[in-house]
Amino acid sequence: TAEVMSHVAAHFGKALNECREESGLSPNILEEFHHFWSEDFEVVHRELGCALICMSNKLTLLQDDVRMHHLNMHDYVKSFPKGDVLSAKLVELIHNCEKQYNEIPDDCDRVVKVAACFKDDAKKAGIAPEVAMIEAVLEQY
Ligand code: BOM
């Protein structure tokens, strides 16, 4: 659900602070990570892909081939309140997007495409959080 996703997004977003420098993601592109979910924000910048890789690596959510680590992602999502109702769906949506962009060799370019696909599909599935929902739970993490 979108409510559960807001918790995952709030926690995941905290890792951006540690990844700003190495990813080169300027605050002019994305000031706070949770704005990723804003209707107005376009998921297109290569630096965002680099930042997502860095952030995911901090949480050991990626394999050596820079694809999602299914078991770790499943367990990560399950660790949030009611996470068990979201974990399988989230892993399925991300994996489905990975398959569509598998041939892009540059990791940052590929991951930003996967992230844009995931945002789109999460909206279609009715599990995309609104920015205000994430802001409401940010202080818990
Ligand atoms: O193929 C690499 C897959 C990398 C997955 C990263 C996608 C994350 C999208 C960004 C938004 C995330 C908010 C919450 C979910 C955390 C995984």
3-state secondary structure 58-88: HCCCECCCCCECHHHHHHHHHCCCCHHHCHH
Split at pLDDT 50, 70, 90, the class of 78 is very high
3-state SS class at 31:
coil
Pocket test for ligand 1, best of 56, 97, 123 (most atoms within 8 A of CB): 56
Residue 29 has a pLDDT of 97
- Contact 49/112 with Cβ under 8 angstroms? yes
pLDDT tens-place string over residues 88-123: 999 999 999 999 999 999 999 999 999 999 999 999
* C-alpha 82 – ligand 1 centre gap (Å): 19
CA angle 130, 137, 125 (to 5 degrees): 35
* C-alpha 19 – ligand 1 centre gap (Å): 14
- In this prediction, the answer to ipTM > 0.85 reads yes
pTM summary value = 0.97
Residue 68 has a pLDDT of 98
Q: How far apart are CA 49 and CA 16, in angstroms?
A: 12
3-state SS class at 14:
coil
3-state SS class at 42:
coil
Q: Is the CB of 55 under 6 A from ligand 1?
A: no
